[in-house]
Amino acid sequence: MRPELLRKAQEVLPNLPPAVQQKVGALIAEARRAKAQEVAKLNFMEYVKYVWPNFIHGKHHEKMARAFERVANGTTKRLIINMPPRHTKSEFASYMLPAWYLGNHPSKKIIQASNTAELAVGFGRKVRNLVDSEQYGKIFPGVGLRADSKAAGRWATSHGGDYFAI
């Protein structure tokens, strides 16, 4: 639904009978959810906000998100991110990005490399659980885990994509 139609619907909402208000209010809420899902599919930062409701947003997150979008669309081939600890680098690069990328490119392959197998498999488990969630399915309908593929460190999407943690 177009934003101006949503605004007009909200303006007239108080003038409607209570039963109609409830129905129209529910339709407005559903239109907003659908728009948020549509935007989250294409915009990494909006995706993060959608799947991580308690996320605290900063300017450095916007810069990372734009860089990750360039990686995902192929315009950036190599990316190094240098920031102090606790600035969400790992959560973005090793958890949110692989899931978002596979949602948009479900037949691609991802390798998650780390200095320890335990860390790589831990991120693999988080990504796998996110891809298998109902919330993720609302953004990327039809993308999920292959039924016979549930290991944390090595799994596949329902579209032939692979995730491998090492």
Predicted confidence at residue 70, as pLDDT, reads 98
Positive or negative: CA dihedral 30, 59, 140, 147: negative
Predicted confidence at residue 29, as pLDDT, reads 85
Predicted confidence at residue 40, as pLDDT, reads 97
Predicted confidence at residue 1, as pLDDT, reads 57
Contact 142, 160 (CB under 8 A): no
For the chain, 166 residues long, the average pLDDT of each consecutive 10-residue run is 73 83 83 91 97 95 98 96 94 97 97 94 97 97 92 96 96
Predicted confidence at residue 15, as pLDDT, reads 83
User: Do strands 154-156 and 109-112 pair parallel, antiparallel, or not at all (unpaired)?
Assistant: unpaired
Instruction: State which H helix or E strand residue 156 sits in.
Output: strand 154-156
Nearest Cα to 49, choosing from 92, 113, 112, 111?
92
User: Residue 57 carries which DSSP code?
Assistant: P
CA distances from 86 to 37, 60, 61, 82, 91 (A): 28, 12, 12, 12, 10
